[in-house]
Structure 1
Amino acid sequence: MTQSSNTARELRLPDFVGVGPGRTGTTWLHEVLKGHVNLPAGIKETDFFTTNYNKGIEWYADHFRDADRIRPTGEINPYFGFPEAAERIAIHIPRCKIICTFRNPVERIYSAYKLWRHYTLTNDPLDVFLVKVPQIIEVTRYATHLPDYRARFGNDRVLVLLNDDLRADPQAYLDRVCDFIGIERYPVPASAAAGEPINSINDLPRFPRAARRARKFMHWLEDKQAYATTNFLEQAGAWKLAFGGGPKFPPLDPAIEARLHELMRPEIDALEQMIGRDLSAWKSPRAKSSRAPAGASAAQGK
């Protein structure tokens, strides 16, 4: 499907997109931006530039139908690592600002695996899962995909944020986002001030069969754009009840952790050079190296 950017400009489309990838603090960012920018109506992630692209740009723009013309409009959606998404964003909103949120790659990979297990999307052990779903590692190749966004949108329109900084100083992290998207700085809400993951996954479903039925129902509601029902069930605790309550996830197996660190080391080394940050804390298990990346350069995000 193709659509000219001229037509897109007649629609209300995002001024910025937080492309993720997922499990890097995207939910935290979405929640703290609520009320300060225009976000999609009723849902956090439209997945338009990936799985829902065939629904058309008008379908996407309809999610911003209530957006005012005063505040910036945006979406926080994990499009990072999907080259077709970067291309489509550039076609429809070429002046869009891009926010990339990066996390220790090994932590992100294990967190993504836990999410899949939590929602009964896989029952495979991690090593088997990563072979079957290579996209999990692919979207964690930050240095591989960051240059594509910078080339399409310009260095000054691509902001790179590190999850380590969110944990260390949530206010400074949010301030950088506010400055980038062009809104006044404001205090981080008390509920998010600790910088801890809002959407952390710690346990498996107590009843996997019921969880699978709940997942299919949840996706059916989203496909029908029954966002109000989905949100009501979430607020009522239905999804938490359906997908949690079972055994807790154990720490990542040290042998697998070591292999993942070795696999991702070239990406980390390359990213260091791209953003001018010391990422040595990402190069070995946190138990051995707990120091957060330091020394943000003036070139960060540019």
Structure 2
Amino acid sequence: MDRQLNFLIVGAQKSGTTSLHRSLALHPSVFLPDQKEIDLFGTAASFARASRILDRHYRKAEDEPARGLSYVGMMFLEGAAERVHEYSSQMKIVAALRNPIDRAYSAYWHHRRTGWEQSETFEEALRREDESDVPDDQAARAMTYRRNGCYADQLEPYIRLFGREQVSLLLSDDLRDRPRETLDRLTDWLGIDPIPEERWSTRRHNEAAMPRYPALQKTLLAHDSRLKRIYQRLVPERIREPIRRTITTPLVLRHEQPFVYPPLAAETRRLLCRYYAPHNARLATIVGRDLGHWV
């Protein structure tokens, strides 16, 4: 059975990649694992286990012409593009891109929800990002909110290695406002039939919520949780995903409540708008679109 991957959804974080993954996974010509966020190329250690990871997650793959993987860490982790290229120089790269200011603020509240983020305010988290040396691991880099919106910098290695024709850049605005046109363009680029409209994933995923019991949430999910480190040391990797799917995730969702986070402070938005202006200008050239509405 051919389990060679031929397309990747590499990001961006909090930009609609879950809905995109779910929509493509329902296509009869596509195989995507049930689990999103499989780290195959993010680190050298995970890449060294590639055969084992592929065997575990792609054993159900049959003869689908499009076989993919989603992992938003591939946008911002150093060396990910090079590892992908080492695996296959013919890989097709898909990235969904959202207004970086809104993406950063959404990511902050997402990590407050999971217990990863300890800063009481978004502004405090941005100051921490400025003041500390961030290790190049997924957990730490996921919380570099400002840096993770510099899309042109992150896409440059992929475009350099694979060529612009092998990189499909989607705007989350288009996925929301023009899903039919946007998804048809993507499936045509992947060389498969359009996604039947009844198979679109129109439900919003990862909507804002906050735990009723933050201490419990932090114990279960926070990357620096002592209990989580012990668990990862004792429980084999192949068993963790079924446990996460059948026990941990339902438990977490049962103890969450809907949450509407406050509007971003006008001064913070103004400062971020100024910061991202040159980055968005470079990205606009790459995408071939006016991104002036990203303010």
The two structures have a TM-score, normalised by structure 2, of 0.82
In structure 2, the residue matched to 1:12 is: 3
Matched positions, count: 268
Cα RMSD of the aligned pairs, angstroms, is 2.5
In structure 2, the residue matched to 1:99 is: 94
Alignment counterpart, residue 161 of structure 1, candidates 163, 166, 170? 170
Range moving further from structure 2, 266-275 or 156-165: 266-275
Tell me how far 1:192 sits from its aligned partner: 3.1
Alignment counterpart, residue 25 of structure 1, candidates 2, 16, 19? 16
1:231 matched to 2:245? yes
CA deviation vs aligned residue, 1:181-238 (integer Å, no higher than 9, x gap): 1111122347734xx64222x2321211111122267884794543233222477x42
Tell me how far 1:11 sits from its aligned partner: 7.0
Indicate conservation of the 8 Å contact 1:81/1:141, yes or no.
Answer: no
1:130 matched to 2:126? yes
Q: State the distance in 1 between where 2:183 and 2:24 align.
A: 9
Alignment counterpart, residue 217 of structure 2, candidates 211, 221, 231? 211
Structure 2 matches for 1:7-156, cutoff 5 A?
12-36=3-27, 37-40=30-33, 42-51=34-43, 53=46, 55-62=48-55, 63-78=57-72, 79-124=74-119, 125-133=121-129, 135-156=144-165
Q: 4+ residue stretches of structure 1 with deviation over 6 A?
A: none
Indicate conservation of the 8 Å contact 2:47/2:83, yes or no.
Answer: no
Q: State the distance in 2 between where 1:222 and 1:180 align.
A: 38
Tell me how far 1:61 sits from its aligned partner: 1.8
Percent identity between matched residues is 28
Tell me how far 1:123 sits from its aligned partner: 2.3
Indicate conservation of the 8 Å contact 2:38/2:70, yes or no.
Answer: no
Q: Secondary structure at the match of 2:79?
A: helix
Q: State the distance in 2 between where 1:191 and 1:97 align.
A: 21
Q: State the distance in 2 between where 1:203 and 1:111 align.
A: 11
Tell me how far 1:54 sits from its aligned partner: 5.6
In structure 2, the residue matched to 1:198 is: 205
Tell me how far 1:147 sits from its aligned partner: 2.3
Alignment counterpart, residue 187 of structure 2, candidates 160, 168, 178? 178
Q: State the distance in 2 between where 1:271 and 1:257 align.
A: 19
Q: State the distance in 2 between where 1:247 and 1:120 align.
A: 15
CA deviation vs aligned residue, 1:115-173 (integer Å, no higher than 9, x gap): 11010112212122124346332221111222221111111110010011011111112
Q: State the distance in 2 between where 1:130 and 1:192 align.
A: 33
Q: Relative contact order (C-alpha < 8 Å, sep 6+): which is higher?
A: 2
In structure 2, the residue matched to 1:269 is: 281
The two structures have a TM-score, normalised by structure 1, of 0.80
Quickly say closer, same or farther: Cα 1:73–1:140, change in 2 above 3 A. same
Indicate conservation of the 8 Å contact 1:16/1:96, yes or no.
Answer: yes
Q: State the distance in 1 between where 2:211 and 2:152 align.
A: 35
Q: State the distance in 2 between where 1:130 and 1:197 align.
A: 27
Q: Secondary structure at the match of 1:59?
A: helix
Gap regions ≥5 residues in structure 2: 131-143
Q: Secondary structure at the match of 1:99?
A: strand
